[in-house]
Amino acid sequence: MKHFLLPILAASIFSASADEAQKAKLIEIGKASFATCMACHGPDGQGVAVGPDKKMAPTLAGSKIATGDPAVFALSVLKGIQKDPANTAVLGIMAPLEATLDDEKLAGVMTYVRNSFGNKADVVTPEDAKKFREMFKDIKAPVLRADLEKTAASHKK
């Protein structure tokens, strides 16, 4: 019995540590890429404050977009979010960043945000990032925040 179980055990331990190593690498890459996001979201992800009651961007801590369906998060970062004039609490614009982030950096920054500022969510791999870029390639303009989920869903096959 023992000699059947051992290789299985060894294989599962190996794959768990490979996953951990990949996650650590993605977080390291993402931490560096997060420099792109800091101007608006701040080093702590809370959103750079402008005066007493306004911010450049919303907090990423507990953000449903950041920690939820990675397709919706990827769509926001790749294409940007169309400015809603009714939302006067944030002064900045979520810019389209698809040209700035290659698949590894996109995966890294998403994994970093999903596992920082108190957030805890699944890893996004460079393969996932590539898939999202391909999935949304026909979208040429930032998407309204209210339409993000619907747009992501309509592009899933």
Collapse the DSSP code of 82 into the 3-class scheme (helix H, G, I; strand E, B; otherwise coil) and give the result: strand
Q: According to the binding rule CB under 6 A, does residue 63 interact with ligand HEC?
A: yes
| Smallest gap from residue 135 Cβ to ligand HEC (A) | 17
Q: What are phi and psi of 52, to 5 degrees?
A: -75, -30
Give the relative orientation of helices 2-33 and 103-114 as an angle to the nearest 10 degrees.
Answer: 100
Contact map string, positions 112 to 151, toward ligand HEC, x by CB under 6 A: -x-------------------------------x------
Q: According to the binding rule CB under 6 A, does residue 89 interact with ligand HEC?
A: no
Contact yes or no for 126/73 (Cβ under 8 A): no
Task: Find, among 156, 36, 28, the residue nearest to 96 by Cα.
Answer: 36
Single out the segment in contact with ligand HEC by CB under 6 A; choices: 13-21, 56-64, 116-124, 130-138. Answer: 56-64
Q: According to the binding rule CB under 6 A, does residue 57 interact with ligand HEC?
A: yes
DSSP H helices in the chain: 2-33, 35-41, 64-67, 70-79, 103-114, 126-135, 148-155
| Contact set with ligand HEC (CB under 6 A) | 36-37, 39-41, 57-58, 60, 63-66, 73, 76-77, 81, 83-84, 87, 90, 92-95, 97, 109, 113, 145
